[in-house]
Chains A and B, each alone.
Chain A
Amino acid sequence: MTVYEPWNATRGTEIIAEHAHLEGATLVILHALQQAFGYVPEPAIPMIASALNLSRAEVHGVFTFYHDFRHKPAGRHVLKLCRAEACQAAGGDALTARAEAKLGIAIGHTTPDERVTLEPIYCLGLCATAPSAMLDGRVVGRLDEARIDALVAEAQR
């Protein structure tokens, strides 16, 4: 599991300033903030806008367009299951249903104890060793029932 800093405006300003000089810096800054805090805190949006001389609406528009950026922190562990065609062909749908049942949540949600966020991902590029998953940045292929159970158990720890 990844440990994030709590939101802090001074630190946020520093991160924004570090990248503001780049061409087309908005996505770079959003990524950097999420890497530091685990999500993009709402107060950061007007700060980015002011640093890049954009409107708040423009930055909000970018923030909400991309699936990656989080509005609030994820669970302590993030388990991403590939739902695209190659993994479907290799039996991925049944494994997703199994993970959902074990965790008691639908994909796209976080367990009530905030331990595990279960997310779909559309292709990890591990299509020749499908079905595949990613647990906190670690890739796992050739999933079967035993492997998905082990991943879920590891995420719940």
Chain B
Amino acid sequence: MRLRVFVSCDAGAVAVGADEVAVMLERAAAQRGAAIEIIRTGSRGLYWLEPMVEVATEHGRVAFGPVTEADVASVLEAMLADGPHALRLGLAEEIPWLKRQTRLSFARCGVVDPRSLGDYRTHDGYKGLERALTLTSDAIIADVTASGLRGRGGAGFPTGIKWKTVAQTSADRKYIVCNADEGDSGTFADRMIMEGDPFVVIEGMTIAGVAVGATRGYIYIRSEYPHAVEAMNAAIVEARRGGYLGAQIGGSAHSFDLEVRVGAGAYVCGEETSLLESLEGRRGIVRAKPPLPAHKGLFGRPTVINNVLSFAAIPFILAGGAKAYADFGMGRSRGTMPIQLAGNVKHGGLFEVAFGVTLGELVDDIGGGTLTGRPVRAVQVGGPLGAYFPRALFDTPFDYEAFAARDGLIGHGGIVVFDDSVDMSKQARFAMEFCAVESCGKCTPCRIGSTRGTETIDKIRAGERVTENIAVIEDLCNTMKFGSLCALGGFTPYPVMSALKHFREDFGPAPTHLQAAE
């Protein structure tokens, strides 16, 4: 009997040795004369268990992990004999960390071969597009609106409204742009889905094209993600070959085609108008809004620009799942969010779950606390522009409005965990410094404020007129927050101010002017 074995080809798994494990497995099987087929999938997102190896059995796929090269021979024996092994995790889908999730967008990630259109279709792929092709533009957009989907890039703007605006704007050409410039530290969901299930992104973009009457799309992927670029390009070729991209997609009257464009290391290009400038071949300088990209976007044409995760949510919604999607979540945050646990965390990875789970559950329970075993002191939620939250705020539910009410943001859903060795004034300084390096330079609060901010935090760290300089930082942060053109300058105050507010003790001694004379 031929053994069917699954090993991830996700960059996160490859970075910890998945390629070597796959090669060793092949070799060990050959030496033993065992017939083996190795299928490279995406990652299930349980990164502390990577490289994870799964074997198909009559009961389902049994997982082993984390498998090192030294374990390969014994793991192979256990797979052949269906026997015990120290690394045996049982049925992959029964692993509690995975079973607790609600995988709608990531249903196929880690399961299917990302290069296989056939695999995608067998696992419910293209059902959303097939249904969309039978609907009117209005009906497709009504589904997206009914699902309650909001932009997963961080801004949380209702996707249905964005699409409707583009659909109602007439032009000779319209564009669909996928923002895959996932620059936030602590986030990797876009990378994972592009590497593990690229067709879902293509399908989501194609549905958007059909809905708004666009025939051309671009996926702008950051250059730091070469594996994702390769996977998306391969999937686009496959989709074209299968008749799902190009003229008359899926046998319909609609045409839609896609191209990958690669960024060049500018963080600000994750901001939508910078990204459009960059796609047009220019410096990634932010555009003032209005006009909105929905009216005048790429090359001045009406453009739907959405994050990877927004597009990845669409196929489920259009396959008759709009109401089911909306039934998940809390308040105005509907559906699921692929949350990413990162940094100094014991169980790091991708956890897709309905909105409403608390920060404490995510960090302590699901994440298992820190990897170092020291107490969790702070978490940064939402990337370099997100606030640092102390344990006292761990009751905050994962919800756009709940985070905003506590001067934070959920951003792209990344959570970076820090233990008690963190120096929060250093983190605040880093936020300002990062903004200074990455500022596009168009608006003054961001361009100059970030440099002055770095210098002022340096003075505070050196103990120089601490109280006065903290007042300067507070004032500067206000100017940046309200005076910047985009989220880079506008949100850099979040990590800085939250560090100051919640971790004041890291910024030198507090004022002592009310102390009585001795």
Contact = CB atoms under 8 A, between A and B. Distances in A.
A140 interface: yes
Interface stretch (B248-256, B281-289, B474-482): B281-289
Given A23-B299, A24-B299, 9 more contacts: A23-B280, A28-B262, A66-B264, A89-B343, A125-B190, A125-B224, A126-B11, A127-B416, A128-B350
Interface string B323-359: 0000000000000000011111100111000000000
A65 B438 CA distance: 10
B12 interface: yes
A130 B342 contact: yes
A68 B427 CA distance: 25
Interface of B: 11-12, 14-16, 45, 47-48, 50, 182-188, 190-191, 223-227, 261-267, 278-284, 299, 340-345, 348-350, 371, 380, 384, 414, 416-419, 422, 427, 430, 434, 438, 440
16 contacts: A24-B261, A27-B262, A31-B262, A62-B282, A65-B283, A66-B266, A85-B185, A88-B343, A123-B184, A124-B224, A125-B182, A126-B188, A128-B47, A128-B341, A128-B350, A137-B226
A105 to B, nearest CB: 19
B281 A128 contact: no
Contacts of B12: 125-126, 128-129, 141
Contacts of B186: 84-86, 127
Given A68-B264, A89-B416, A128 B187 contact: no
Interface string A129-152: 110100001011110000000000
Contacts of B284: 65-66
A143 B418 CA distance: 17
Q: Return the 3 tightest CB-CB contacts between A and B, nearest first.
A: A128-B348, A84-B185, A89-B343
Contacts of B191: 125
Contact of B223 (A68, A128, A142): A68
Contacts of A139: 11, 14-15, 227
> Which of B190, B345, B350 has the most C-beta atoms of chain A within 10 angstroms of its own C-beta?
B345
Contacts of A1: none
Contacts of A85: 185-186, 343, 380, 384, 416, 427, 430
Interface string A13-35: 00000000001111110110000
Contacts of A24: 261, 279-282, 299
B344 A90 contact: yes
Given A26-B281, A86-B416, A125 B188 contact: yes
Interface in A42-92: 52, 58, 61-62, 65-69, 84-91
Nearest to B47: A128
Nearest to B367: A128
A91 B186 CA distance: 14
Nearest to A31: B262
A83 B418 CA distance: 15
Contact of A127 (B50, B264, B343): B343
B344 to A, nearest CB: 4
A106 interface: no
Nearest to A123: B185
Contact of A121 (B224, B261, B263): B224
Contacts of B430: 85, 88
> Which of A30, A62, A122 has the most C-beta atoms of chain B within 10 angstroms of its own C-beta?
A122
